[in-house]
Amino acid sequence: MANLGMTFNPDEVEEDAFEPKPKGRYLAQMIESKVEKTKAGTGDKLNTTWEILDGPLQGQRFWINNINIANQSPDAQRIGQQLLAKLCKGAGTGPVSDSEELHFIPMYVDVDIQPGKGDFGPKNIIRKCWEAGSAQPAQAAKPAAAKATPATKAAAPGGRPWSNRAA
């Protein structure tokens, strides 16, 4: 038994109503990631937390979860690995062995909303991503004018302003 030191009333706590971020293009960076077993326990999935770096939603977070990096379903694994490949290209990395290699690297991401299924509400998904320093695809609207941030001010070796890694 663990004494709480108080009487907790769950009716006095406001529920956290999760709302996905609006569909759009964001300058964002992955700030957390974790590999977990799939629900069936037969594969691995990557769950990620992202932070928006500019525009009206600057500082807000969104989550991209259940990226199947290993799965018994070839289709689920293919889709998950395709997204992971997009993230690596957006970060400007080559092969990675740890998802932390993708942390704190600004990149542009085109975010969409996937409708809810069953007991789960709508969620954000990433459709495209590319390096922050590269030209953006013309077919999508450009993000709001970016503010100068420590991550975008001065280029480090390798031409990536957010990295000390050599290209």
For the chain, give the percent of residues with pLDDT over 70. Answer: 77
C-alpha span between 99 and 30 (Å, rounded): 9
C-alpha span between 38 and 112 (Å, rounded): 23
Q: Nearest 5°: phi and psi at 16?
A: -85, 105
Please report the pLDDT score of residue 8 as a whole number.
86
For the chain, domains (ranges, CATH) are 19-131 (2.40.50)
Q: What is the DSSP string of 19-86?
A: -PPPSEEEEEEEEEEEEEE-TTSSSEEEEEEEEE-SSTTTT-EEEEEEEEEE-SSHHHHHHHHHHHHH
> What are the C-alpha distances in Å from 61 to residues 10, 124, 165?
26, 11, 26
End-to-end, the C-alpha distance of the chain in Å comes to: 55
**Global pTM value:** 0.71
Residues in the chain where the model's pLDDT stays below 50? 138-167
Please report the pLDDT score of residue 122 as a whole number.
94
**CA 160, 108, 62, 45 torsion: positive or negative?**
negative
C-alpha span between 127 and 86 (Å, rounded): 9
157 DSSP assignment: T
Please report the pLDDT score of residue 118 as a whole number.
87
Question: pLDDT tens for residues 20-49?
Answer: 999 999 999 999 999 999 999 999 999 999
